[in-house]
Structure 1
Amino acid sequence: MGKRFKISEQPMISLQKELRFLVETHLRFIYDEQSYPDLDHAQLARKLIKIVELDEQCLKPAVHESLWDEQDVLVITYGDSIKKEGEPPLDTLNNFFNKHLADTVNGVHILPFFPYSSDDGFSVIDYTQVNDGLGDWGDIEEIASNFDLMADLVVNHCSSRSRWFDNFKQCKEPGKNYFFECDPSADTSDVVRPRTSPLLREVETLEGKKYVWCTFSHDQVDLNFANPDVLCEMIQIIKLYLDRGVKIFRMDAVAFVWKELGTPCIHHPKTHELVRLMRTLIEHHSPRAIIITETNVPNHENLSYFGNANEAHAVYNFSLPPLLLNALITGSSAHLKAWQMSMPPAQEGTFYFNFIASHDGIGLRPAEGLLQDQEIDTLINTMQSFGARISWRAAQGGLNKAYEINVTLFDALQGTTKGPDKWQIQRFLCAHGIMLALEGIPAIYIHSLVATNNYQEGVELTASNRTINRYKWDADELETQLATEHTHHAKVFEQLKRLISIRRGQQAFHPNATQFTLHLGDQLFGFWRQSIRRDQSIFCIYNVTDDTVTIPLSSINLISLNKWVDLVSGQEYTDLHLDLVLEPYQFVWLTNKIAC
Structure 2
Amino acid sequence: MWFQTATFYEVPVYAFFDSDGDGVGDLPGITAKLDYLEWLGIDCVWLLPFYPSPMVDGGYDVSDLTGVRTEFGTLDDVATLVAEIHARGMRAMADVIVNHTSDQHPWFQAARQPGSPTRDWYVWSDTDEKYADARVIFIDTQDSNWAWDEVAGAYYWHRFYAEQPDLNFDNPEVRQAVKDVIRFWLDIGFDGLRMDAIPYLFEREGTISENLPETHAFLKEVRAMMDAEYTDRIMLAEANQPPADVVAYLGEGDECHMAYHFPIMPTLYMALKRETAVDIVKALEATPDIPDNCQWGVFLRNHDELTLEMVTEEDRRYMLEHYAPDPAMKKNVGIRRRLMPLLDNDRARFQLLHGVLLTLPGSPFLYYGDELGMGDNYRLNDRDGVRTPMQWTAGPGAGFSDAEPEDFYLPVIDDPRYAPDQVNVVDQRADDRSLLHWTRSMLASRRHHPVFSTGRFELIDLGNPAVLSYRRWSSDDDIMVVANFSTVETRVGLEEPVADAVSGEVFTDEVGLSGHEFRWLRPVGAEQRDGSTDRAGQ
**Shorter chain as normaliser: what TM range?**
0.7 to 0.9
Counterparts in 2 of 1:545 and 1:227: CA distance versus 1, 3 Å: same
Shift of 1:342: 2.6
In the alignment, residue 304 of structure 1 is paired with which amino acid?
A
1:483 is paired with a residue of what secondary structure? helix
1:251 is paired with a residue of what secondary structure? strand
Q: Does 1:587 align with 2:518?
A: yes
Q: Does 1:119 align with 2:57?
A: yes
Q: Give aligned pairs, total.
A: 488
**Alignment counterpart, residue 542 of structure 1, candidates 448, 471, 483:** 483
Counterparts in 2 of 1:433 and 1:127: CA distance versus 1, 3 Å: same
Q: Does 1:331 align with 2:265?
A: no
2:214 is paired with a residue of what secondary structure? helix
Q: Does 1:498 align with 2:498?
A: no
1:437-462 alpha-carbon deviations (Å, 9 max, x no partner): 111111101132221112234x1xxx
Q: Could you say which residue in structure 1 is the equivalent of 2:469? A: 526
TM-score normalised per structure 2: 0.86
In 2, the alpha carbon distance for the partners of 1:345 and 1:152 equals 26
**Alignment counterpart, residue 204 of structure 1, candidates 150, 154, 160:** 150
Shift of 1:488: 11
2:511 is paired with a residue of what secondary structure? strand
Q: Does 1:270 align with 2:220?
A: no
In the alignment, residue 348 of structure 2 is paired with which amino acid?
Q
**Alignment counterpart, residue 154 of structure 1, candidates 78, 97, 105:** 97
Counterparts in 2 of 1:174 and 1:501: CA distance versus 1, 3 Å: farther
C-alpha contact (below 8 Å) 1:83/1:474 kept by paired residues: no
C-alpha contact (below 8 Å) 2:199/2:210 kept by paired residues: yes
1:155-183 alpha-carbon deviations (Å, 9 max, x no partner): 11000011111112224767432111123
1:119 is paired with a residue of what secondary structure? coil
Counterparts in 2 of 1:474 and 1:375: CA distance versus 1, 3 Å: closer
Counterparts in 2 of 1:174 and 1:362: CA distance versus 1, 3 Å: farther
Q: Could you say which residue in structure 2 is the equivalent of 1:419? A: none
Structure 2 counterparts to residues 28-43 of structure 1, below 5 A: none
In 2, the alpha carbon distance for the partners of 1:190 and 1:353 equals 29
Q: Could you say which residue in structure 2 is the equivalent of 1:79? A: 13
1:471 is paired with a residue of what secondary structure? coil
Q: Could you say which residue in structure 2 is the equivalent of 1:92? A: 29
Q: Could you say which residue in structure 2 is the equivalent of 1:429? A: 351
Q: Could you say which residue in structure 1 is the equivalent of 2:123? A: 180
C-alpha contact (below 8 Å) 2:275/2:485 kept by paired residues: yes
Q: Could you say which residue in structure 2 is the equivalent of 1:376? A: 316
In 1, the alpha carbon distance for the partners of 2:121 and 2:359 equals 44
Structure 2 counterparts to residues 2-13 of structure 1, below 5 A: none
1:70-119 alpha-carbon deviations (Å, 9 max, x no partner): 3x111011012223362662222222231353460110110111011211
In 2, the alpha carbon distance for the partners of 1:130 and 1:221 equals 20
Q: Could you say which residue in structure 1 is the equivalent of 2:385? A: 468
2:302 is paired with a residue of what secondary structure? coil
In 1, the alpha carbon distance for the partners of 2:62 and 2:37 equals 31
Aligned alpha-carbon RMSD (Å): 2.3
Shift of 1:224: 0.5
Q: Could you say which residue in structure 1 is the equivalent of 2:253? A: 309
In 2, the alpha carbon distance for the partners of 1:375 and 1:491 equals 34
1:127-164 alpha-carbon deviations (Å, 9 max, x no partner): 11111211222222233222311111111100001111
Q: Does 1:164 align with 2:107?
A: yes
In 2, the alpha carbon distance for the partners of 1:388 and 1:411 equals 14
Shift of 1:491: 2.3
Q: Could you say which residue in structure 1 is the equivalent of 2:377? A: 455
**Alignment counterpart, residue 455 of structure 2, candidates 500, 509, 513:** 513
C-alpha contact (below 8 Å) 1:67/1:349 kept by paired residues: no
In 2, the alpha carbon distance for the partners of 1:408 and 1:513 equals 30
Q: Could you say which residue in structure 2 is the equivalent of 1:391? A: 331
Q: Could you say which residue in structure 2 is the equivalent of 1:46? A: none
Counterparts in 2 of 1:489 and 1:180: CA distance versus 1, 3 Å: farther
In 1, the alpha carbon distance for the partners of 2:131 and 2:346 equals 45
C-alpha contact (below 8 Å) 1:450/1:490 kept by paired residues: no
Q: Does 1:442 align with 2:373?
A: no
2:272 is paired with a residue of what secondary structure? helix
In 2, the alpha carbon distance for the partners of 1:386 and 1:74 equals 31
C-alpha contact (below 8 Å) 1:387/1:407 kept by paired residues: no
2:45 is paired with a residue of what secondary structure? strand
Q: Could you say which residue in structure 1 is the equivalent of 2:337? A: 407
Shift of 1:475: 4.2
2:247 is paired with a residue of what secondary structure? helix
C-alpha contact (below 8 Å) 1:80/1:93 kept by paired residues: no
TM-score normalised per structure 1: 0.78
Task: Write 1 or 2 for the structure with the bigger share of helix.
Answer: 1
Shift of 1:280: 0.9
C-alpha contact (below 8 Å) 2:393/2:427 kept by paired residues: no
In the alignment, residue 586 of structure 1 is paired with which amino acid?
E
Counterparts in 2 of 1:486 and 1:245: CA distance versus 1, 3 Å: closer
Q: Could you say which residue in structure 2 is the equivalent of 1:349? A: 293
C-alpha contact (below 8 Å) 2:179/2:222 kept by paired residues: yes
1:182-221 alpha-carbon deviations (Å, 9 max, x no partner): 231534331133123121111123xx51110011011000
In the alignment, residue 387 of structure 2 is paired with which amino acid?
R
Q: Could you say which residue in structure 1 is the equivalent of 2:494? A: 553
In 1, the alpha carbon distance for the partners of 2:263 and 2:222 equals 26
In 2, the alpha carbon distance for the partners of 1:342 and 1:69 equals 21
Percent same amino acid among aligned pairs?
22
In 1, the alpha carbon distance for the partners of 2:457 and 2:261 equals 16
Shift of 1:243: 0.9
Q: Which runs of 5+ in 2 are unaligned?
A: 400-420, 531-538
